[in-house]
Amino acid sequence: MGQQIRVGEVSFWVEDSGAGSPVVFVHGWSMSGRFFQRQLDKFHGSHRLIIPDLRGHGRSEKPTRGHTVPQYAADLQAILARLSVQRPVLVGWSMGAMVAYEYLRAFGESSVAGLVIVDQPPSDFAWEGYEFGVFTLETLRAMNEQLQLDQAGLVAEFTELMLHVPDEPTQA
């Protein structure tokens, strides 16, 4: 069941359904909790599923400030406190993984029962010998310039990186 939850000055859209041990799904950048709809349909009978839309995403309020990973983690902790959720399993996809990492850093390992990371390396930054990094200082400079001059183009390019042709198991 979806609901608006006000935390501080921001209103968040949160899906909250099922019963049992809590699992919290945290979406990626420029996405929403709708990304996890199949999980909601599949697991709500065995777990309590909480799927928030982060600040500025999906059906949550779109404030002009507070768009940092530490703020997203603080928002998540406040949302979970309002819902009386303790020690959930956090499932972070893409940027949601960074939010989950920050949640652990800020609130401690004892604040969660488990952590699942989906499609996110430990770091996005490239350095010699690290095969998973994609961002160099030059890449970030170019993205910053494009963000100022061609926001729609940057979003289109970045979004395209997140899409794929489904394989047989995901088409069901």
Every domain of the chain and the residues it spans? 2-120, 123-172
Determine the Cα–Cα distance for residues 2 and 114; give it in Å rounded to an integer. Answer: 24
pLDDT (0 to 100) of residue 112 = 98
Residue 169's pLDDT is what? 66
Torsion over CA of 77, 45, 118 and 28, rounded to 10 degrees?
-50
Instruction: Tell me the average pLDDT of the chain.
Output: 90
Q: What is the CATH number of domain 2-120?
A: 3.40.50.1820
pTM of the entire structure?
A: 0.81
Are 94 and 116 in contact by the 8 Å Cβ rule? The answer is no
User: Pairing relation of β-strands 10-17 and 48-52?
Assistant: antiparallel
Q: Would you place residue 171 in the very low, low, confident or very high pLDDT band (cuts 50, 70, 90)?
A: low
Q: How do residues 35-83 score in pLDDT, each as one tens digit?
A: 998 888 788 788 999 999 999 999 999 999 999 999 999 999 999 999 9
Query: Within a 13 Å sphere around the CA of 36, how many CA atoms are in the beta-carbon half?
Result: 29
Give the residue-averaged pLDDT of 82-90: 97
Q: Is the pLDDT of residue 137 over 90?
A: no
**Per-residue tokens: 18:** 């099922």
